[in-house]
Amino acid sequence: MGARRIGKKPARQLPAAPGWLTRRLLGGALLLASVGGGLGLGLWRLAQPDTLPIRQVQVQGEFRYLQRPALYAALGELTQGGFFTVDVRALKQAAESLPWVESASVRRVWPDTLRIGIQEQIPLARWQAGGMVNRHGALVPVADTGGLAGLPLFSGPQGTAKMLAERYQQLSQALSGIGLGVTTLELSQRRAWRVELNNGTHLLLGRALSAAQLARFTAAYQTVLAKRLGQIRSVDLRYTNGFAVRWKAGDGEAGLG
């Protein structure tokens, strides 16, 4: 028998790519590189502050207490830059850092405008230690409360502004029907309430003031108390089934049920 030759088969040679295909692939690669470079250059250009610069800043909102110069000073250089580079989040935060600003919104308007919307704080009362209480019951440390002289005055321990706001709203709702309003609302360290009404009457309240207690007072005010208003020193509502009236000097005290 003849010997069988054992060994590796020679590697198969792949045919060379046609010249036109090689040229096309190379051209495509060069085109992609060119487009990518151009895109990168374009993005870089858009990121420059002098590209599409902001030329207008529109501020929208009704201002009664907020001073526009203070707002413009807070926004300052943050409005400088390009349409795509201006930091709208930083602008919003800068506006909302002002005590008289409750909330702010910032948006771009093509091609060169910033539109800033401002919701001003709505004050509910003055705070005796300084500042004001807003409509949500939050204590806001505004420096100038000269324009708030017509609002009621709140006084209480630290952290009780919201509690006073809630009690004030409860009282205002009950008293408005008989033409009365609250001018001073005080909460002591012992959680005792004292109220001065716009007719000079003082009310002493318990920790929990019920609708029934207020109803008894408003009914008695219309039938009895209003006629002797000048003689009343205070009305004590800290009773379950009635209240006590303390008269001015010489009139003593009378309980009403």
Q: What are phi and psi of 54, to 5 degrees?
A: -70, 125
**Residue 26 has what pLDDT?**
61
Confidence (pTM): 0.76
Picking from 216, 212, 252, the residue whose alpha carbon sits closest to that of residue 232 is 252
**Residue 41 has what pLDDT?**
46
Picking from 124, 143, 122, the residue whose alpha carbon sits closest to that of residue 133 is 124
The pair of three-digit structure tokens given for residue 205, joined into one six-digit string? 């309240």
Task: Round to whole Å and give the CA distance between 186 and 128.
Answer: 9
Residue 226 DSSP code: G
Task: Round to whole Å and give the CA distance between 239 and 203.
Answer: 12
Residue 147 DSSP code: G
**Residue 6 has what pLDDT?**
45
Q: Looking at the DSSP assignment, which residues form a beta bridge with residue 117?
A: 60, 105
Q: What is the pLDDT of residues 131-164, one digit of tens each?
A: 999 999 999 999 888 899 999 999 999 999 999 9
Regions of the chain short of the pLDDT cut 70: 1-51, 250-257
Q: Which domains does the chain have, with CATH numbers?
A: 56-120 (3.10.20.310), 123-256 (3.40.50.11690)
Contact assessment for residue 185 and residue 167, using Cβ atoms and an 8 Å cutoff:
yes
> DSSP of 196-211, one letter per residue?
EETTS-EEEE-SS--H
Contact assessment for residue 114 and residue 57, using Cβ atoms and an 8 Å cutoff:
yes
Task: Round to whole Å and give the CA distance between 80 and 124.
Answer: 36
**Residue 251 has what pLDDT?**
56
